[in-house]
A = this chain, B = another copy of it.
């Protein structure tokens, strides 16, 4: 009997799963995959929108990206072995291209593997997933947003690929409800030009704070303060950016920090991360919060066993993809998609529940060992290679050395790291050099960028 798979989400992870199922199909190993996507087109976070809050259908806006976003990591770290950037663009391009360039590359890869937009039920939002333990069948309720009708379908497997950098984690700070400026989360940051000439406080010390600080600097903010909870990012910031300990309270426009200092701000942008949010899943099958590397309840951080309190099993038939903290992205998602597809088709076997649970617990405990960037990179490299080995995928996926160099380049000069070059594992070539340094480049369009790639 053909296996009916429900795939929730057509972002980079969901699309990688569709590519994976197409690859199996080419080998005669077909599944019946139905993909539901809330947005108008595949691409997940890479689809930029000017909207904040809710979209035209009243559904929460997914996109957390913003205008003038350039990749904050080298393309050589996410390049597909079977489709290099040079394959796609017909020329060697620089390491850190803007959003549209990366989306275009993804679209090329999906096309290469025969994934068509028509295969995806766009503007379909999944409302409810339930699992019947007796029949081992999932029932999925979906709303077709355009036609305003509901569907209910049954599936043997469910893959949740709805992303986890989409629903903001927004803590409260004492006095923020009376802040006299603008208070917002990084999720709603759309355009650095809104903040030209302004004094901005960013709360947080991860990628959002890092990149939004740089964007604000690039677009002429008067002053950017970054408030950290535990550790400074401690880059060699330009004069207008500096770091202070945690925000403790707000009075009028004045923000007070843990070290006793205070200053006035026009806006507070909470770069406080994202939360796992699966309103369509039963709580007992819902991945708990935590932007970590080795996920609870998931064997290989993919296959669900309800290990933690209040969770149930779904007979190994439920999968989450792309839900961990990430150095690796596109290639990791591909390995995850292939691994899940291979498991569903019984091409590879996972051990029984007991062994899976032991492994989940061991891996989850090992998060504590990931005490610096190098260890995190190494752990995720090992993870990606482990998946590849289990599915017999023999390409040079290890880009840890590129990540190390990238970290070094950032430490060396946070303003110029995007202008650096890296060597592709697959073409053997060093990235091209863009003629305009990132800090001076104000055209983030695909056409404008490619024109300047010589």
Instruction: Tell me the dominant secondary structure on chain A's binding face.
Output: loop
Distance between Cα atoms of A347 and B167 in the complex (Å): 46
* Interface stretch (choices A93-101, A172-180, A375-383, A409-417): A172-180
Q: Is the CB of B180 within 8 A of A279?
A: no
Q: Is the CB of A188 within 8 A of B128?
A: no
Nearest B residue to A148, CB-CB: B283
**Smallest beta-carbon distance A248→chain B, Å:** 17
Interface residues of A in 274-291 (CB under 8 A from B): 275, 277, 279-280, 282-284, 286, 288
**Smallest beta-carbon distance A285→chain B, Å:** 10
* Residues in chain B near residue A180, CB distance under 8 A: 191, 193
Q: Cβ of A53 < 8 Å from any Cβ of B? A: yes
Interface residues of A in 18-66 (CB under 8 A from B): 48-56, 58-61
Q: Is the CB of B148 within 8 A of A286?
A: yes
Distance between Cα atoms of A181 and B196 in the complex (Å): 10
Partner of A56, one of B60, B171, B280: B171
**Smallest beta-carbon distance A268→chain B, Å:** 10
Q: Is the CB of B193 within 8 A of A53?
A: no
Q: Is the CB of B170 within 8 A of A279?
A: no
Q: Is the CB of B53 within 8 A of A177?
A: no
Given A58-B167, A167-B58, verify A310-B148 contact (CB < 8 Å): yes
**Smallest beta-carbon distance A38→chain B, Å:** 11
Q: Is the CB of B50 within 8 A of A282?
A: no
Q: Is the CB of B168 within 8 A of A53?
A: yes
Extra A-B contacts (5), CB below 8 Å, given A51-B170, A143-B279: A52-B188, A53-B53, A53-B185, A54-B60, A58-B168
Q: List 17 A-B contacts (CB under 8 A).
A: A48-B177, A50-B176, A52-B52, A53-B168, A54-B168, A56-B171, A58-B167, A58-B275, A125-B279, A127-B128, A127-B280, A143-B283, A148-B286, A150-B283, A179-B191, A181-B193, A182-B194
